[in-house]
Chains A and B, each alone.
Chain A
Amino acid sequence: MSDKQRITVTVNDQEHDLLVEPRTLALDLLRDELRLTGTHAGCEQGVCGACTILVDGKITRACLMFAVQLDGCSVETVESLGSPDGTMHPIQRAFSENHGLQCGFCTPGMLMVTQELLRREPRPDAETARAAIAGNHCRCTGYQHIVASVCAAGRAMSEAEHQHVDRQDVEHQGARA
């Protein structure tokens, strides 16, 4: 349609230099151009949360944002979770262990919301978790197992963190002794 615009965007730690049409949505850029199809479209109007990504660490609806607005930004999608060697992220593990998904369509959005929540609130209780995911629709689970997954992920991650800190303490003291 109109002239393409050049943008530079970092997606899951990888920098991309892209030419995009001004009207292309961030959602379509991710799914169609970058083939990151884990981000889903459930309503295309900002209601369902299936398209949730993190832009500079903030929860963002990819369907409500133009690709050009991502210029200079850092984007995290569901594909950023877990390690390339196949080790699952504790959030992913918690969702699987607590049956936090059925059809899986809402799941990438739920995972990204959880990622953002746990960065600012490492040990959420059920009420906090419920409030945090309230912007995302799931038609399969009735949310209860998602709430449990979010809390379990928080527990697992902060326990791992503590163990890590404890170990560091031990090493530290060892070095001093």
Chain B
Amino acid sequence: MSVTTHSGGSILGHPVKRTEDRELITGAGVYTGNMPVEGALHAFFVRSPIAHGTLGDIDVDEAKGMPGVVAVYTAADLELNDRPGLPGVVPETMNRPLLAKGKVRHVGDIVAIVVAETASEAIDAAETVFPDIEPLPAVTDIEAAMADDAPLLFEGTESNMVAGAGTGEVEGIFDDADVVVKAKFHNQKLAGVPMEPNAVVVEPGENGKLTFWASTQTPHGLRDQMAGDLGVDGEDVRVIAPRVGGGFGPKAFAYSEYSIIARAAQKLGRPVRWNETRSENMLSMVHGRAQVQWVELGVKNDGTFVGLRATAVGDAGAYPAIGAVLPSLTQLLAQGVYDLPAIDFTWKAVATNTTTVGAYRGAGRPEATQLLERIIDMAADEIGMDPLEIRRKNYLQPEQYPLTTLTGANYDTAEHEKAADAAKEAAGYDALLAEQKRRRESGDRIALGIGVGSYVEVTAPLGLDGEYGSAQAHPDGTFTVMAGTSAHGQGHETAFCQLASSVLGVPMEKIKLVQSDTELVRSGAGTLGSRSLQTGGTAIHNASQELVAEAREIAAHLLEAAVEDIDHSDDGFGVRGIGDKVITWAQIAQAAEDGSGYEDGRGHEMRQELDFKAGDSTFPFGTHIAVVEVDLDTGFVKQRRHVAVDDCGIILNPMLVAGQQHGGIAQGISQALYERVTYDEDGNPTSGNLASYTIPTAADLPSFEVSNTETTTPLNPIGAKGIGESGTIGSTPAVHNAVIDAVSHLGIHHIDMPLTPETVWRAIHGANGSDPATRQQAGPEYAGKAITEDTPDSAQA
């Protein structure tokens, strides 16, 4: 590897234990909800119980007189700028009023804020606020929102379409195909469900200054958004993210609640806090996925891919923002890991009367993998080829890299066969096939299914490939490093100090990571899109190298030697060949501060900072194999095994990487088998708490068999790619394919996710192949089964 270390970098690549843990296992971790802020008031929001309606008068009189109530505000009382969804993409007509004005657009839309001395007083008062809402027809499903006669969410628009683009049509795309398989997939809406919901405390200070403690993944982004909403200078806003109880993407979003609370705090001149309840969280925190996809894949009889044609329509929710462009990431990765000769892809985003859609672990990329990996299995089934073989036949080969795909992704490096072979070997693939055959022949009612998912994903996407970092040496022999990333469970305090330690040649305990505070850290893009190590880590790595270079110069000056003759060791800096005199880091930092270390004698703190820019995203990849059992009598799916080979480039800390793989896999499995955000026909959420929205427990999941291949990337000096989202992206199609494989001998070609017992049971019984909730969301013509071009009747098979 190309990491520069003074002594071989012995700490790199080791499962160094986390320095974060002590605080978190003693209950001393300070999350936003525990942040003691003197005199803080409590806020609670009055939300629309109606999905779509005209908002009339809001009766707040009773609430204002309730015990402990300090203020009740509606849109008319608070000056807040409407927020543009995504400038340049989302039309201005779809700007978001932070407090509802004239209309409500989803259940949970904010109508008023109540501020009281205690949280219970705020809740009591909020219950007496009565908004007069005249219901309008609501639209919660993607296809219905696109229909000509769809109810429109926004005035001044002619349709609910938000954005869209495509590759352009490819003439004769399937001319060389022997078979074209067609399908319609529904990639269901998911909720991120970090175990800590949103939380914020805003404290107004001197001269209009505002300090936010917020449960966020992106402190600097939140600062800028708050400044925009409130019409103040970014410098007057300080955002601090204390311990954050999970994020997974949704906490990269700046919530309107935060701006409203800030305005209330400004008006009242007192700190205001809000701890979101889980029921609010399920309505307010951005959701993920939510796409309908129409897909066609042309193949030759020998398995060679000929072309892919697809349309993906994403649900952007009620107030389109980043969700409006996530389907473009689906297009970006539409080629997957395959040597596809032609792609015709169209993407669109549409507004619906549902919770706004944003980034959730994978954000646009799992949808691409799911689309490809499902249709490939259908093609394999159609031509009678083994799923792993059809993939191997079409993988891009290492010598084709680097390459620009047909949809414009600049793939850096990969060895797909290596990862697939490792997964095949670890799974004992051939033995599994034999066992499946045995069960089928013996009429076993517990069917075995084996599913493969090969993926590529883009990390540090959407221009997020640059990051700020710094390294500073102190005269007491300690060091401070900073990065603009903001960890919330990933273990950056450990990983980044590990990295700095190897470059500086000092023990990790001497190094402190400062992050997640916009006043201390100059700039930052936060932690999202699996970007942190490759950008923030690299920035710290490079700043540490520059600090070593500066130390050499100071040492040379102090030792009256040439810089080239200075040796850097664990003990400090000395002159090569003259072993006895070594200057320590502490002495060097002291000399820097008092000026004795420099020619001009001008002292300053010894600190290097820089902005690292990779120039492009990296593309991790891998193959997952899932093994499931399906009870043919009940439709119940039990996952038995999950084998994952994920390549995230060079590994810094294998323990942290395994943790990311595990967590990602759990969420990916969960999309395949358990989770789905649902609404009734009036737009009322029917999965609004953790009893109805089922995230898996330990009893639902198998023990995962994870490993890695390591293919370096030239895009950063540590050779690292992202790992945060890989597990999620690879696992969903593997599990999905495994379940379909288990029942494929019954003539079933596809069932939409989540593969709940009812869904699978219905498919087995031919009852239209899906459960009513799936059909309601995915649209009326949904059949749930593959249709091949030449045998249209096979849908009824």
Residues of A within 8 A of B (CB): 1, 23, 31, 36-45, 47-48, 50, 77-79, 81-82, 88, 92, 95-97, 99, 101-108, 111, 126, 130-131, 133-147
Residue contact B697 to A40, C-beta cutoff 8 Å: no
- CB neighbours of B701 from chain A (8 A): 142-144
Asked whether any CB of chain A lies closer than 8 Å to the CB of B243, the reply is yes
Residue pair A130, B244 in contact (C-beta under 8 Å): no
Tell me whether B44 is interfacial, beta carbon within 8 Å: no
Chain A CB within 8 A of B277 CB: yes
A102 and B489 contact, CB distance less than 8 A: yes
Counting chain A CB atoms within 10 Å of each CB, the highest count among B24, B120, B488, B489 belongs to B24
A residues near B24, Cβ cutoff 8 Å: 101, 103-104, 107
| Residue numbers in A under 8 Å from B689 (CB-CB) | 43, 45, 47
Asked if B698 contacts A103 (CB within 8 A), the reply is: no
- Max count, chain B CB within 10 A of own CB: residue among A37, A97, A144: A144
A79 to chain B: which residues have CB within 8 Å?
26-27
Question: Interface stretch among B74-82, B96-104, B201-209, B653-661?
Answer: B653-661
Asked if A103 meets B244 with Cβ closer than 8 Å, knowing A133-B698, A135-B697, A141-B663, the reply is: yes
Whether A108 contacts B658 by the Cβ 8 Å rule is no
Structural contact, A43 and B278, CB atoms closer than 8 A: yes
CA A49 – CA B77 in complex, angstroms? Answer: 39
**A contact residues around B727 at 8 Å (CB):** 142
Verify if B490 is at the interface (C-beta below 8 Å from A).
yes
- In the bound complex, residues from chain A placing their C-beta under 8 Å from that of B690 are 42-43, 45, 47-48, 137
Q: Is the CB of A102 within 8 A of B278?
A: no
Docked complex: B107-156 residues within 8 A CB-CB of A? 120, 124
- Is there an interface contact between A42 and B698, defined as CB atoms closer than 8 Å? no
Closest B residue to A45 by beta carbon equals B689
New A-B contacts (15) at CB < 8 Å, excluding given A81-B25, A102-B663: A38-B28, A41-B275, A42-B196, A43-B278, A44-B279, A95-B21, A97-B17, A101-B21, A102-B490, A105-B246, A108-B27, A137-B690, A141-B662, A143-B698, A145-B659
A40 pairs with B663, CB closer than 8 A: no
A39 and B27 in contact (CB under 8 A), knowing A105-B196, A134-B698?
A: yes
Q: Closest CB-CB distance, B700 to chain A, in whole Å?
A: 8
Q: Scan B478-521; emit 1 where CB is below 8 A from any A CB, else 0.
A: 00000000001111000000000000000000000000000000
Closest CB of chain B to A90's CB: distance in Å?
11
Roughly how many angstroms separate A134 CA and B697 CA in the complex, as a whole number?
A: 5
* Residue of A44, A105, A140, A142 touching B278 (CB-CB under 8 A): A44
B194 near A139 (CB under 8 angstroms)?
yes
B634 is an interface residue with CB less than 8 A from chain A: no
Task: Convert B244-265 into 0s and 1s, putting 1 for each residue whose CB lies closer than 8 angstroms to a CB of A.
Answer: 1110100000000000000000
Report whether A104 and B665 are in contact in the complex, using a CB–CB cutoff of 8 Å.
no
Residue-wise, chain B 18-48 has the 8 Å CB interface mask toward A (1 for contact) of: 1011111111111101100000000000000
Name the residue of chain B whose CB is nearest to the CB of A93: B25
B434 within 8 A of A: no
Asked whether A147 and B697 contact (CB < 8 A) given A101-B24, A107-B25, the answer is no
Measured between beta carbons, the chain B residues less than 8 angstroms from A141 are 659, 662-663, 666
Across the interface, B655 reaches (CB within 8 A) one of A31, A99, A131, A136, namely A99
Contacts of B666 in A (CB 8 A): 141-143
Residue contact B245 to A142, C-beta cutoff 8 Å: no
The reply to whether A139 and B697 form a contact with Cβ atoms under 8 Å apart is: no
State the CA gap A135–B698 with chains docked (Å). 8
9 closest A-B pairs (Cβ-Cβ)?
A38-B27, A104-B24, A105-B245, A103-B489, A142-B662, A142-B666, A102-B489, A134-B699, A78-B27
Contact between A88 and B25 (Cβ–Cβ < 8 Å)?
yes
* Most chain A CB within a 10 A radius of its CB, from B246, B488, B658: B246
Nearest CB in chain A to that of B693: its residue: A47
Using Cβ atoms and an 8 Å threshold, which residues of chain B touch A96? 17-18, 21-22, 25
Please pick, from A39, A103, A111, A145, the residue contacting B246 in the complex, using a CB distance under 8 A.
Answer: A103
- The answer to whether B659 and A104 have CB atoms under 8 Å apart is no
A104 contact from B20, B120, B193, B279, Cβ within 8 A: B20
Q: A23 and B663: CB pair below 8 A?
A: no
B462 at the interface (CB under 8 A from A): no
Complex alpha-carbon distance, A103 and B246, angstroms:
5
Contact A137/B695 with A103-B489, A107-B25, A144-B662 known, Cβ cut-off 8 Å: yes
Interface centre among B194, B277, B490, B698 (most CB of A within 10 A): B698
Nearest A residue to B701 via CB reads A143
The reply to whether B34 and A139 form a contact with Cβ atoms under 8 Å apart is no
Residues of A within 8 Å of B489, CB to CB, are 102-104, 140
- From the candidates A36, A37, A48, A131, name the one contacting B195 in the complex (CB within 8 A): A48
Chosen A-B contacts, 19 in total, with CB atoms closer than 8 Å, are: A41-B275, A45-B278, A79-B26, A79-B27, A81-B26, A88-B22, A102-B489, A104-B243, A105-B194, A107-B24, A139-B195, A139-B246, A140-B195, A140-B489, A141-B662, A141-B663, A142-B663, A142-B666, A146-B698
Chain B residue at smallest Cβ distance from A79:
B27
* Pairwise interchain contact A99-B697, C-beta atoms closer than 8 A: no
In the complex, which residues of chain A have a beta carbon less than 8 angstroms from the beta carbon of B195?
Answer: 40, 42, 48, 50, 103, 105-106, 137-140
Q: Could you tell me the distance between the alpha carbons of A82 and B695 in the complex, rounded to whole angstroms?
A: 31
Taking CB atoms, residues of chain B closer than 8 Å to A104 are: 20-21, 23-25, 29, 243, 245, 489
- Measured CB to CB, the closest approach of chain A to B577, in angstroms, equals 43
Across-interface contacts of A147 in B (CB, < 8 A): 698, 703
B691 at the interface (CB under 8 A from A): yes
Whether a CB of chain A sits under 8 angstroms from the CB of B293 is no
In the complex, what residue of chain B is closest to A136 when comparing beta carbons? Answer: B697
**CB-defined contacts of A145 to chain B, threshold 8 Å:** 658-659, 662
Contacts of A102 in B (CB 8 A): 246, 489-491, 659, 663
Assess whether B788 is interfacial by the CB under 8 Å rule. Answer: no
Interface string of B721-755 (1 = CB under 8 A from A): 00000010000000000000000000000000000
Q: Which residues of B contact A88 (CB under 8 A)?
A: 22, 25-26
Task: Assess the A92–B703 pair: CB atoms within 8 A.
Answer: no
Q: Which residues of the other chain, B, contact A92 by a CB distance below 8 angstroms?
A: 25-26
With contacts A92-B25, A96-B25 taken as known, whether A130 is within 8 angstroms of B699 at the C-beta atoms is yes
Cβ–Cβ contact B667 & A139, under 8 A: yes
Q: Does B704 contact A (CB under 8 A)?
A: yes
Against A, the Cβ 8 Å flags (1 = close, 0 = not) of B273-296 are 001011100000000000000000
> Closest Cβ of chain A: how far from B685's Cβ, in Å?
15
A147 to B698 Cα, complex, angstroms: 8
A41 touches B33 (CB 8 A): yes
Closest CB in chain A relative to B672 CB, distance in Å:
14
Nearest B residue to A108 via CB reads B27
A40 touches B21 (CB 8 A): no
What are the residues of chain A within 8 A of B278 when measuring CB–CB?
42-45, 48
- Chain B neighbourhood of A41, CB < 8 A: 33, 275
Q: Is the CB of B244 within 8 A of A139?
A: no
Complex Cα spacing A48 to B22, Å: 23
What sequence of 0s and 1s flags, for each residue 178-206 of chain B, a beta carbon within 8 Å of any chain A beta carbon? Answer: 00000000000000011111000000000
